[in-house]
Amino acid sequence: MQTKSPVWDKIAGGWTQFRGEVRKQWGKLTDDDLEQIKGQRDILAGKIQQAYGVAKEEANRQIDEWTGNLKY
């Protein structure tokens, strides 16, 4: 479980706006996946692991990279 961060508070609070960005980054995630994630980083990491067959560490690395590049 990841600790709360200001970035994730912002993502969770504006999830409807960030869904499109998540979809651009991880196109294999479905609308149902995005609905289940609802801005929760740990669920996003799990969905990335499932969809792309990567380890938890790799999913978290991708999320860190993505959040570092966000413009908001």
The tens digit of pLDDT for each residue in 8-67 reads 999 999 999 999 999 999 999 999 999 999 999 999 999 999 999 999 999 999 999 999
Is the pLDDT assigned to residue 2 strictly greater than 80? Answer: no
Note the pLDDT of residue 42.
Answer: 96
Cβ 42 vs Cβ 3: under 8 Å: no
Cα–Cα distances in angstroms (integers) from residue 22 to residues 5, 26, 31, in the given order: 18, 6, 11
Q: Which residue has the tokens 């570092």?
A: 68
Note the pLDDT of residue 12.
Answer: 92
Note the pLDDT of residue 1.
Answer: 45
Residues 6+ apart with CB under 8 A from 52: 26, 28, 59
Confidence band (pLDDT; 50, 70, 90) for 6? confident
